[in-house]
Structure 1
């Protein structure tokens, strides 16, 4: 069995290749039971969550991801998301590879958002606002750069020093990145807004979204978390990575559904529909689009296969 380090995974999962691998997997499909989601403390989700995500293709590969999400880890100087991915041969059950799930998860999550943006963001989208400055932020920026000609990138974080540190790091790598001192002002001018936070209250207001904006919501992964307000989901054309995840786990969708602000029929399509051509994506340059991802085991399997085959 191969052991793949975080660097092995990062080297294999380059964004154009990974975005294409995800697109192909959404077209081909696989078996992916709804992920197991266990709060370590039923009364306080901040104390940690365990996620188990299996997926397989008959006659191909079988994978299982185990992930812990510890929102309080920032204060400990540790990543909030950690885990491992175990890849098997689906025909004979042999364990083929064990790899770091942190690097795999951030890259596949960012690539899923970029895959959605390839259908939903304006083709001439030139400006991006990144809300959040954690481990997902640089991945989301680089993934979107792989699908759209971004010329201006701003980062906003509730701790400005953290946003500045990330902006400095990315700028030193040759990217044109600056800090957004005011969230509303930056949101009002952005072509693409990507959010990757652990917020339980709306950060982005629908009233701030300009015609043609694309809102990418990544961070809120439980029914009680959200990054957008009711106005945003009401005025936008809504898309999800999978209907199963969006309708059961995404607070940005679940909460307005419960409130009657939107109905299930308001969700236009998922990534299966977009990748297979059952839905064409953005309809015109003034349409406001919203993509909500919760993550899918299919995405992990596609990424793990790519990483394994690149390191054989």
Structure 2
């Protein structure tokens, strides 16, 4: 491939070229840059195309003299898997010297990997060092990617999976038996026993409740990425040290936080910090082993661009 050629990375090429370990480091760096103010991005714009159908645009730049571009994506209900959504689209990457487009990447696969990598970064920063029990709530694509990413940052000795469809839970347990995966008996019991909880659902009403989550637990809220659907109740939001990937985005689109704020349970100040602030050492994410920490993942253009830039640069070494 010539340097001036446009590189095309389909889903298989993304999987082959973007390891979870490398993506975790790329996301760790870019989230610090986001909080330091050296990246640029706009809040995502979304056009509703009817029930279960959204078209979204996410532009950003990794820096004034670094890669820039956009993710253009459709978020449609999957007719083959009711209750699940597919994120289909492209990440288009431009180089900073002549403004040339240099890469087009499958956005769905980048989204899968970088979302799990971001959760891993937050878990590494916020979970107790001795966290050993992981609870995965949900059985979709993000369950798979989180099961690949999270064991890279903690030595889990027990991984428990819960979902509404027993057959999908059993399939995940079988596929990840090498990690010691097991099926949750019931969600409340599993939540009470977990050190780290990841909610990866399409739920519109809470499936996880504050009364269930014990002191010392770290929770990652990943499934809801816009106002409306919530995965947890306001009690959990209120009792946690609430860390956002982006404060501005959380105040605009973090459904669980918005519900608690609109009910007068919390204020805007309840957002303690961005994960980048924690990584930069500006704010303590966890102050002790009894803290309940919560990371709200909404996803950002700079995450997609950082993942795409690493993929592109690795292919040109």
State the TM-score bracket (shorter-chain normalisation).
Answer: over 0.9
Who is 2:107 aligned against? Answer: 101
- How many Å separate the matches in 2 of 1:144 and 1:167? 16
Match of 2:39 among 30, 43, 58: 30
Deviation at 1:95, TM superposition (A): 1.2
Query: Mapping of 1:1-312 within 5 angstroms?
Result: 1-28=6-33, 29-41=38-50, 44=51, 46=52, 48-56=53-61, 57-75=63-81, 80-171=86-177, 174-312=178-316
* Equivalent residues, number: 306
Q: 1:236-285: per-residue Cα shift (whole Å, max 9, x none)?
A: 11111101211111111111111111111111111221122111211101
**CA spacing shift, 1:78–1:285, aligned 2, 3 Å:** closer
Deviations 1:151-179 (A, max 9, x none): 111111111111111221122xx221111
* Residues 128-148 of structure 1: per-residue CA shift (max 9 Å, x gap): 110001000111122111111
Tell me the C-alpha RMSD between the 2 structures. 1.6
Specify whether residues 37 and 168 from structure 1 end up closer, same or farther in structure 2 by C-alpha distance, changes over 3 A only. Answer: same
Cα 1:112/1:78, change in 2 over 3 Å: closer
SS in structure 2 of the partner of residue 155 of structure 1: strand
Q: Is the 8 A contact 1:154 1:177 kept in 2?
A: yes
State TM-score, norm by structure 2. Answer: 0.93
* Residue 77 (structure 1) shift: 11
How big is each residue's C-alpha offset from its partner over 1:67-113, in whole Å with a ceiling of 9 and x where there is no partner?
11113434379862222111111331211111111110011111111
Q: Which moved more, 1:74-83 or 1:275-284?
A: 74-83
Please state how far the C-alpha of 1:12 moved relative to its aligned partner.
Answer: 2.5
Tell me the SS of whatever aligns to 1:113: helix
Distance across 1 between alignment mates of 2:201 and 2:289: 28
Following the alignment from structure 2 to structure 1, what is the Cα–Cα distance between the partners of residues 300 and 308?
Answer: 13
Change beyond 3 A, Cα 1:221–1:260: same
When residues 5 and 77 of structure 1 are mapped into structure 2, their CA distance, relative to the original with a 3 A threshold, is farther
1:197-248 deviation per Cα after TM superposition (whole angstroms, max 9, x unaligned): 1111001000001110011100011210111101101111111110121111
Runs of 4+ in 1 over 6 A off after TM superposition: none
Q: Which TM-score applies when normalising by structure 1?
A: 0.94
Q: Does structure 2 conserve the Cα–Cα contact (< 8 Å) formed by 1:74 and 1:80?
A: no
Measured in 1, the distance between the counterparts of 2:230 and 2:22 equals 30
SS of the equivalent of 2:156 reads: coil
CA–CA distance in 2 between the matches of 1:290 and 1:188?
15
Q: For residues 263 and 76 of structure 1, what CA distance do their matches in structure 2 show?
A: 35
Cα distance in 1 between the residues matched to 2:116 and 2:67: 23
